[in-house]
Structure 1
Amino acid sequence: MKKLNDYLYLGDTVLKILQRYSEDLKQSAKETDNQIDLLHCNFLLQIAELLQHNDFLTSQSQRIREFYNLMANEYPFLAFTFKGRIKSLIRAEAKFNGYIVEYIYNYYSEHESYPELPELKNALNCFRDLIAYRIVISLPKCHLKEGETCADEEIKYLYDVANQLPGFLEECGFTAELSSLKGQKKSPFLKENVSPYYRDYIANSESSGYRSLHITFYDNIARCYVEVQLRTKEMDDFAEIGPANHLGYEKRQESER
């Protein structure tokens, strides 16, 4: 069985590791007729394409940064931070493997049979956050009026920003995707015309305490999916270095499998 760990310590670049790993995995999958490993290869190719042909990322980030600049001008009293990343190879691999195991286990528990290949392929369409951007806001206390709290006012401004994001990016070549979060509570601050596109982890906070607004777009120019996350600085600190950080999140997922 081919594993990513077998390739990590050979001194190769990430791209070279991906190429060797995916080629060997594909060969092994063909020899054993392992359809899941073939799906896995296609997933690895997505990451390799991002690393090998990443010129589009400059254009993409510039278009999203235009929104960031617009908001910074519209709300000059807010402090804005703009961040972007491609999901790391190790995290992407762990997420893929974990999701496959979890999906098959849940499917078998419910149906007492294994899912057909088309169902697995459809389920794997959920990986749309390999590229993600984050806009973080904070409100200096000197701008608070009497009786206002920083946390409450920041959330109001965050939703104001969220209400403007889909329309702006659609004019820049992006198409907003409907939210995959079913039965979520709706915040009164989120407008009806944009609410269906957001995964609102503020109104629907997770047990870990994680809070954020997530929205997925299809970039019609770069032909790939991209996720945009909106947070206050307090939410961002909690997500990145607090109990809700990715390491803690992945450990919780692993313990629940």
Structure 2
Amino acid sequence: MLLALIIANVVVDGGGIFYFYTQWTFTLVTIYFGFGSAISIYGCRKHCRKTGGNRTNHISLDSEQGTYVPPTIGEVADVSSNQSKHFDPHEATYHPTIAGPWVYAFQIIYQICAGAVMLTDAVFWLVIYPFLTPKGHGLNFMIVSMHSINAVFLIGDTILNCMRFPLFRIAYFILWTGAFVVFQWIIHACVNLWWPYPFLDLSSSYAPLWYLGIGVMLIPCYGIFALVVKLKDFSFARSFPDSYRKLR
């Protein structure tokens, strides 16, 4: 669905649409879902192979197959001592599996998308559409979809996943937005083009205030999504206390 909207937008408006922060964000969200699907498929295949291996070992050691040998008296004592050590709460430790680089990259993309989607939709619906859209220029299905469906998909995925959302990861979101601004500066330093957003125009006397305002907006945009994650954790922990797990 997301990829189809990007392709349709390119067909209608051409490759120049990628001058907009909206298309950058929409493309990143599409990459996130594609990346997540690939990781999920890999995890399912790995789990199936592991389950199959465990099933094979279980069958080969089943007493009905004639492989069971009762322990001797000395072995019983060893087994009892080993079990007591194993179940000792002071000695038993849990070592969780360390995430690989691709999983960390996936989490970073998710955390960038969260802030970028909030910023894209907030700026469009609160600033661009009511104040900067020319009169007589109405909305169409493509514009509404590009500035709403990304948030719907991402919030829906957030409800289903259990990934962490630490506040310090706002640094990646700031770097992403800064990369877009630097890209625009480089393009306009080399080619005489129109600015995709009027508040990015450096020739305006209000440019410092616009840039400061957009910079300040990064904090509440990221914070709103962090609040969504907190509300999800709180609601699920209250509704499903025995089954809901949160990564810490």
- TM bracket (short chain): under 0.3
Structure 1 length normalisation: TM-score? Answer: 0.25
Bigger Rg, which one: 2
Which structure features the higher share of helix residues?
Answer: 2
Larger relative contact order, structure 1 or 2 (CA cutoff 8 Å, min sep 6): 2
Q: TM-score, normalized by length of structure 2?
A: 0.25
